[in-house]
Amino acid sequence: MNHPHDARLASLALGLVLAAGAAAWGSRMVIRLGEARTASTAEWRQVAQVYAERNRLAVPALQAAGAVPGVDPQLVEAARGALARAAALPGTPGLLDDPRALDAFKRNQGELTGMLFRLVAAAQRQPTLRDDAALQGLHRQLLQSEAQLAEARARYSRFAGSYNALTQSFPDAIAARLAGYASVPTNL
């Protein structure tokens, strides 16, 4: 005859097996989420690296343009200000979790890009600056960085989209919510 104690033990064993299975499932989901977030963050770093290289090349170009009397000093100062604002908000992965900071980053970088193109155009009109290595390097970087940024943004968007799909689809969304994984912006 079955004893009530045996039924309780069987229920307890079943509960333990189910709990262990749920823990293993949850761990696997969290690992997948972590890998996807790491991949999207790595692609974001590529975007930020292109901006950082451009910003690095802007410093000597600004110095060269500022040293020549024919370049509008207000333009040079405006470009310095744009560079200072862009440098004050570096492209760290934490920006992906702060929509306002990310918007400010994009706005600052866009402003700097425009100012640097204007500065290069103004400097090229000055005979003493046409052959300046710093300005030529910045000009090349500006032209190359637009294509690099488009490519890096597209890669980031793909990886961020894959990560976001995990955070929003069942059953991964449950693990994402429990582990604190939130969606990230996909359009940069």
Q: What is the DSSP string of the chain?
A: ---HHHHHHHHHHHHHHHHHHHHHHHHHHHHHHHHHHHHHHHHHHHHHHHHHHHHHHHHHHHHHHHTSTTS-HHHHHHHHHHHHHHHHS---GGGGG-HHHHHHHHHHHHHHHHHHHHHHHHHHTSTTTTT-HHHHHHHHHHHHHHHHHHHHHHHHHHHHHHHHHHHHSTTHHHHHHHHT--------
Residue 65 pLDDT exceeds 70: yes
| Single pTM value for the model | 0.79
pLDDT digits (tens, 9 = 90+) for 74-125: 999 999 999 999 999 989 998 988 999 999 999 999 999 999 999 999 988 8
Window from 3-7, 57-61, 82-86 with minimum mean pLDDT: 3-7
Which of 3.40.50, 1.10.357, 1.20.1440, 1.10.10 is the CATH number of 33-179? 1.20.1440
Tell me what pLDDT residue 32 has.
Answer: 83
- In Å, the largest CA–CA distance within the chain is 105
